[in-house]
């Protein structure tokens, strides 16, 4: 199999390494030639993804920010052969899929929205690893939902990455769920770390502090774009969260033990239910 990987940061670099580990051919593209050169020296790719090599690819994966992914897709769309498979890996789907599906229809290739559900708080190729997505979920937004042959083709194209599950959904549902499961976690963590107490945490913090603040160390360029692109769904989740926090605050302010206990027990019980305990 031959894979074309666009963007060789944490996500793209890990995809490239996964395909190479499986013995497949990888052509890479990155806006930074130094990163591409380093990936080649590290054995993560076999050479640059040029226009001439696009037809050789069984799958082309766009592992860059939404705006950059669409810009790149616009540039290569007329050069792709009939039926070529392109899957993006962006953190939002509605804007990307709308344009991706339109370009695919116009130029005759196949576009599938995608979002690999694994990551790391550090970014860049040097933190990428072949096993990053092993056992993880890959969310897919296909152009149609009744094409078994297409699903089989996608599954085979992604098999070397080692995903544990392929989750099929719509672009709207993806963005609504990701606002809660991913974007809110990054937003809350990033806001939480801004307490003056954070500068004095050493010696006072343990696992809970580490867990809650891990993703505060994020890529502001990428997450600003993702938050703005998905602001409607994210604002909805943020309002729910703030309303919930107000209940805890009121209970504390009033020293209302019963209400505070009920709130805490409600959260504990819901977590236990969700974890199947």
Same domain for 58 and 134, yes or no, is: yes
Q: Are residues 130 and 77 in the same domain?
A: yes
- Same domain, residue pair 131 and 208: no
* Closest by Cα among 26, 56, 57, 63 to 43: 26
Residue 123's pLDDT is what?
Answer: 81
Report the pLDDT value the prediction gives residue 35, as an integer from 0 to 100: 93
Residues 154 and 236 in one domain: no
Distances (CA, A) of 93 to 22, 140, 175, 178: 28, 9, 6, 10
Q: Where are the alpha helices (DSSP H) in the chain?
A: 10-21, 33-41, 66-76, 94-107, 148-158, 171-178, 184-192, 207-213, 220-229, 231-253, 257-274
Q: Are residues 22 and 142 in the same domain?
A: yes
What is the predicted pLDDT for the residue at 20?
97
List of the chain residues with pLDDT < 70: none
Sign of the alpha-carbon dihedral angle for 103, 105, 106, 108: positive
Q: How many CA atoms lie within 13 A of 214 on its CB side?
A: 11
Same domain for 110 and 28?
yes
Residue-number span of the structural domain to which 138 is assigned: 2-169
End residue of a domain, out of 169, 188, 205: 169
Q: How high is the pLDDT of residue 185?
A: 96
pLDDT recorded at residue 119: 78
**Number of structural domains, the chain?**
2
Question: Are 89 and 192 part of one and the same domain?
Answer: no
Please tell me whether residues 8 and 140 are part of one structural domain. yes
Return the bridge partners of 112, or none: 87
264 and 141 part of one domain: no
Listed residues 169, 193, 219: the one ending a domain = 169
Single out the residue in 114, 138, 169 at which a domain terminates: 169
Considering the domain architecture, whether residues 133 and 198 belong to the same structural domain is answered as no
Output the pLDDT for position 46. 96
For residue 198, the domain's CATH number is 1.10.3660.10
Separation CA 61–CA 5 (nearest Å): 5
């Amino acid at each position: 199999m031959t894979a074309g990987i666009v963007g060789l940061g944490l996500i793209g670099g890990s995809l490239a390494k996964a395909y190479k580990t499986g013995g497949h051919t990888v052509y890479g593209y990155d806006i930074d030639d130094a990163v591409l050169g380093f990936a080649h020296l590290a054995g993560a790719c076999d050479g640059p993804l040029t226009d001439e090599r696009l037809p050789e690819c069984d799958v082309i994966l766009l592992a860059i920010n939404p705006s950059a992914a669409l810009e790149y897709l616009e540039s290569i769309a007329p050069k792709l052969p009939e039926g070529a498979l392109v899957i993006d890996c962006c953190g939002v789907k509605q804007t990307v899929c709308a344009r991706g599906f339109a370009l695919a229809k116009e130029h005759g290739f196949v576009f599938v929205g995608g979002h690999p559900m694994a990551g790391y708080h550090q970014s860049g190729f040097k933190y990428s690893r072949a096993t990053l997505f092993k056992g993880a979920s890959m969310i897919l937004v296909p152009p149609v939902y009744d094409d078994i042959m297409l699903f089989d083709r996608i599954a085979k194209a992604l098999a070397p990455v080692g995903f544990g599950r392929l989750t099929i959904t719509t672009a709207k549902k993806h963005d609504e769920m990701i606002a809660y499961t991913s974007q809110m976690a990054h937003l809350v963590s990033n806001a939480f770390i801004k307490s003056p107490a954070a500068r004095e945490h050493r010696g006072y913090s343990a696992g809970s502090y580490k867990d809650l603040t891990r993703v505060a160390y994020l890529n502001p360029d990428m997450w600003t774009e993702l938050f703005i692109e998905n602001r409607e769904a994210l604002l909805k989740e943020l309002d729910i969260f703030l309303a919930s926090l107000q209940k805890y605050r009121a209970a504390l302010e009033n020293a209302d033990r019963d209400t505070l206990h009920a709130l805490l027990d409600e959260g504990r019980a819901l977590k236990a239910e969700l974890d199947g305990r």
